[in-house]
């Protein structure tokens, strides 16, 4: 079986975790602080604050900005956490469509959906490609809105040479095992705003201003030293891993460009291919072929968030034709650093052989 994703874990990660275990300091501590410092340097921000997963990173960022009873504009074509985190933070998601070529938030639709109650825009850097941050930041400035980057799939991605997670007012990353780098489970909030960073720091630690002094309701969203130890090693491997992903993506582009719709990389973006997502007219046939040939795949996502049952029940509906079209056509194929040349050749040949029926 060729897996759709596989974490690149080696002896270095194991040795670093052993150091934590030998120290006896398993919870938040030295390793987490080092990881935060190194991640901040890599992204190019003043502050990075580690947490327990990507969803909680989003919730912390949203609560720090203060979205309670306010609207947050977010694309529907993304994982459900982008929307549910807004609701958990007391806000109201307003779904917008995406650009068909990039899969990312459509600035024109953002402009149409802004109201007097809008507090923030949440672009999602989907599949590892940064959204059009020039236009998003311009819109936000014109309307005095916060920009919260959902960079859960975009470790190392860039827009005009700036790392995803360093352009908006605050950002959230995920370190789930399928991501471009992992801590097992984990997340990170990044920002250049010291006030937002201080709020996030207190929120993730029960609202403490000092030991046993709690100013407001918070959470226990602290990362462990064990997770951070893995993250420190993974961060050192990230650029190499992304280079391999980009090399694999180029191979697929060259091989498949005449047969299916391959991913579009915006000229201002550096795509890091968390997922390599193609579009086909008859996805079900390709799924059956992949199952038969032992090829892993992913459908990210089979429906927009605005179509999800929970969003329908809560009344967060929309008409988003591009999202609805893409949800019927997208399928992701293995692009991770651990696939072999033979693996990717098999994937490409399977698609090419049956391209007429797709």
Spans of all domains in the chain: 11-232, 239-357
Write out pLDDT tens, residues 178-194.
999 999 999 999 999 99
Averaged confidence pLDDT in the chain: 97
pTM of the entire predicted model = 0.97
pLDDT tens by residue, 284-293: 999 999 999 9
β 162-163/158-159 pair status: antiparallel
In this prediction, residue 209 has a pLDDT band, given cuts at 50, 70 and 90, of: confident
356, pLDDT greater than 80: no
Q: Quickly state the pLDDT bin for 210 (edges 50, 70, 90).
A: confident
Common-topology check for domains 11-232 and 239-357:
no
Confidence of residue 357 (pLDDT cuts 50, 70, 90): confident
Tokens linked to 116: 């007097």
Fold of 239-357: 3.90.1150
- Residue 199 C-beta-side C-alpha neighbours within 13 Å: 17
Band (140; pLDDT cuts 50, 70, 90): very high
pLDDT (mean) for 223-228:
98
pLDDT given for residue 354 in this prediction: 82
What the block records as the tokens of 125 is: 């850097």
Q: What is the CATH number of domain 11-232?
A: 3.40.640.10
């Amino acid at each position: 079986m060729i897996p759709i994703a596989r974490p690149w874990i080696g002896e270095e990660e194991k040795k670093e975790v052993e150091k934590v275990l030998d120290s006896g300091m398993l919870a938040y501590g030295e390793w987490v602080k080092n990881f935060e410092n190194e991640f901040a340097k890599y992204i190019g921000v003043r502050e990075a604050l580690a947490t327990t997963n990507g969803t909680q990173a989003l919730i912390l960022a949203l609560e720090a900005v203060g979205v309670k009873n306010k609207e947050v504009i977010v694309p529907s074509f993304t994982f459900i956490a982008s929307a549910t985190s807004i609701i958990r933070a007391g806000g109201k998601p307003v779904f917008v469509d995406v650009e068909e070529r990039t899969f990312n938030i459509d600035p024109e639709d953002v402009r149409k959906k802004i109201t007097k109650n809008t507090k923030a825009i949440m672009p999602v850097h989907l599949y590892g490609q940064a959204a059009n941050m020039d236009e998003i930041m311009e819109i936000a400035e014109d309307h005095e809105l916060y920009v919260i980057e959902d960079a859960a799939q975009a470790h190392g991605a860039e827009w005009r040479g700036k790392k995803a997670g360093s352009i908006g007012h605050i950002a959230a990353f995920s370190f789930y095992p399928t991501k471009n780098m992992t801590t097992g489970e984990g997340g990170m909030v990044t920002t250049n705003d010291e006030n937002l960073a201080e709020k996030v720091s207190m929120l993730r630690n029960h609202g403490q201003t000092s030991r046993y002094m709690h100013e407001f309701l918070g959470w226990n969203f602290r990362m462990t030293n064990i997770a951070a130890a893995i993250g420190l090693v993974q961060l050192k491997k990230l650029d190499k891993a992304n280079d391999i992903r980009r090399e694999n993506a180029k191979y697929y582009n060259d091989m498949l460009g005449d047969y299916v719709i391959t991913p579009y990389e915006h000229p201002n973006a550096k795509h890091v291919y968390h997922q390599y997502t193609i579009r086909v007219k008859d996805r079900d046939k390709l799924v059956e072929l992949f199952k038969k040939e032992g090829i892993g795949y992913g459908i990210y996502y089979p429906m927009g968030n605005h179509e999800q049952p929970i969003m329908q029940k809560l009344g967060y509906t929309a008409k988003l034709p591009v999202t609805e079209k893409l949800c019927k056509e997208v399928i992701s194929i293995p692009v991770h650093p651990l696939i072999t040349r033979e693996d990717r050749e098999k994937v490409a040949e399977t698609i090419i052989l049956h391209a007429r029926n797709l």
